[in-house]
A and B are shown apart, each in its own frame.
Chain A
Amino acid sequence: GAVVSQHPSWVICKSGTSVKIECRSLDFQATTMFWYRQFPKQSLMLMATSNEGSKATYEQGVEKDKFLINHASLTLSTLTVTSAHPEDSSFYICSASRGRVEYNEQFFGPGTRLTVL
């Protein structure tokens, strides 16, 4: 149980285009989903937190107009990188939490590697 998928697993795009990444919780309903980015040989940095049906909460320094997050249902969240540039190239990882009483463990997706040319 507690499986999270991401699609696509990797994507290459031209500078200036937009890219959408999907995150799905396959066997549970996720009260909250999180989006992280990870640069090579670095740690994970939380970008934003989203709850179904409400606006995402972005971490300080993350451009909300550039990284659009839509949490359409309890099993699906999407991250759209708008007008992507080479500096947006990174490994994007989502996670989902099912909001258990004792602790809200996050279950991580397999990640999406974005390369912007």
Chain B
Amino acid sequence: ELKVEQNPLFLSMQEGKNYTIYCNYSTTSDRLYWYRQDPGKSLESLFVLLSNGAVKQEGRLMASLDTKARLSTLHITAAVHDLSATYFCAVDRTGTASKLTFGTGTRLQVTL
């Protein structure tokens, strides 16, 4: 059974600081997704990582994928309050019609 774990589960950080969220998964997969969820809302797609070594950046967020280590990271640079949200990684269960297994989620709170 594929398991996806994120850490930390909760992160409080000051504006301007950097931090990294980690996503570990238990079985082989070549596709990993990062999503953002605001309270009471659905998911917003942030990144799609399709191969080992993939790195993508959008604004203050950068995601990377190491399929050999079964690890993805979401790095936040110079955080701003608007980044406060819950972030989920999700792993494509290979060979299962693209079913996703979601991580536990990381609730990010950026304080002024």
| Size of the chain B interface, CB-CB below 8 angstroms | 23
Q: Which residues of the other chain, A, contact B104 by a CB distance below 8 angstroms?
A: 43
Q: Are B42 and A108 in contact (CB under 8 A)?
A: yes
Known: A43-B103, A43-B105, A44-B88. A106 touches B41 (CB 8 A): no
Stretch at the interface among A12-20, A64-72, A77-85, A96-104: A96-104
Residue A25 at the chain B interface, CB threshold 8 Å: no
Number of A-B contacts (CB under 8 A): 49
Q: Which residues of the other chain, B, contact A34 by a CB distance below 8 angstroms?
A: 99-100
Residue A32 at the chain B interface, CB threshold 8 Å: yes
Most B-side CB within 10 Å, residue of A32, A102, A104: A104
Most B-side CB within 10 Å, residue of A49, A93, A105, A107: A105
Interface residues of B in 22-55 (CB under 8 A from A): 31, 33, 35, 40-43, 45, 48, 50
Hey, what's the 0/1 contact readout for A11-54 against B, CB within 8 Å counting as 1? Answer: 00000000000000000000010100000011111100100000
Q: Are A49 and B33 in contact (CB under 8 A)?
A: no
* Chief secondary structure at chain A's binding surface: strand
Q: Which residues of the other chain, B, contact A113 by a CB distance below 8 angstroms?
A: 40
Most A-side CB within 10 Å, residue of B31, B92, B97: B97
Q: Which residues of the other chain, A, contact B98 by a CB distance below 8 angstroms?
A: 32, 97, 103-104, 106
Closest partner residue, chain B, to A105 (CB atom): B48
A103 partner, pick from B35, B45, B50, beta carbons under 8 A: B50
Q: Which residues of the other chain, B, contact A41 by a CB distance below 8 angstroms?
A: 107
Closest partner residue, chain A, to B86 (CB atom): A41
Can you name 27 A-B pairs with beta carbons within 8 Å? A42-B105, A43-B88, A43-B102, A43-B103, A43-B104, A43-B105, A44-B43, A46-B99, A46-B101, A49-B99, A93-B42, A97-B98, A102-B50, A103-B31, A103-B48, A103-B50, A103-B92, A104-B92, A104-B97, A105-B48, A107-B45, A108-B42, A109-B42, A110-B41, A110-B42, A111-B42, A113-B40
The 10 tightest CB contacts between A and B, nearest first, are: A104-B98, A111-B42, A108-B43, A43-B102, A44-B102, A110-B42, A108-B42, A43-B105, A93-B42, A43-B104
